[in-house]
Structures are given as structure tokens and as C-alpha cells.
């Protein structure tokens, strides 16, 4: 193994840990993880379990720990906000499309 490959693996590991930690996932393995695809009209900032993901809709394949979660979408201008409870099943993708203007 070269020094470069070790650095690349370390960077990938650190990035993966940061993503999973910010989304509340305890483990990265598929037996405990599912995914969220979320879209909204208009586009909105995404919070999962009251944690800002630093992402905006639309997003696909966001890893989350299997179980119940709270999604909060807030438009960039703050005019619309919606809280939604949803479930993630391990190894599966939950797809949500939310209309915020109504």
C-alpha cells in the first residue's frame, strides 16, 4: 500500500464519517442504513432530526439510520416551513416530494 492510497482511504473514511454523523446514522453498513430521496417545490434547506444537513432539495441517496426520522424543509427566504415524520427501512430508499407553497 502506498502513502498516497492510505491518504485517499483516510480522506474517504473521514468524509463518510462526517456525512453519516451529520445525518444521524450510527453505522454505515447496509443492515442499519437506508436512504432518503427528497424533493420540494420550491427548493428548500434540509434538516433531518433537527440537524442541518447543509443541503437543499432536491437530494438523492442521503444515508440515514433505519427507523423513524423528522424532516424539516425551510425555503431559503424562510417564508415556508414544513415538518414531516417518515420512516427509513434498512437497505431501501424512501422517496418524498413536498409542495411547500400550499
Contact 58, 51 (CB under 8 A): no
pLDDT mean over 12-38:
58
94 pLDDT exceeds 50? yes
User: Cell numbers at residue 32, please?
Assistant: 442499519
Q: Provide, rounded to the nearest whole percent, the portion of the chain with pLDDT above 90.
A: 68
pLDDT tens for 46-85 read 999 999 999 999 999 999 999 999 999 999 999 999 999 9
Contact 96, 37 (CB under 8 A): yes
**What per-residue confidence (pLDDT) applies to 31?**
75
pLDDT higher for 59 or 17? 59
**What per-residue confidence (pLDDT) applies to 5?**
44
Question: CATH 1.20.120: does it fit domain 3-99?
Answer: no
Amino acid at each position: 500500500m502506498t502513502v498516497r492510497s492510505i491518504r485517499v482511504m483516510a480522506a474517504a473514511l473521514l468524509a463518510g464519517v462526517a456525512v453519516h454523523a451529520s445525518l444521524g446514522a450510527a453505522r454505515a453498513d447496509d443492515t442499519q442504513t437506508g436512504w432518503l430521496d427528497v424533493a420540494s417545490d420550491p427548493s428548500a434547506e434540509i434538516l433531518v432530526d433537527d440537524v442541518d444537513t447543509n443541503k437543499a432539495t432536491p437530494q438523492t441517496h442521503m444515508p440515514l439510520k433505519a427507523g423513524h426520522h423528522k424532516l424539516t424543509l425551510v425555503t431559503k427566504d424562510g417564508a415556508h416551513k414544513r415538518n414531516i415524520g417518515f420512516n427509513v427501512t434498512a437497505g431501501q430508499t424512501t422517496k418524498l416530494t413536498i409542495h411547500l407553497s400550499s
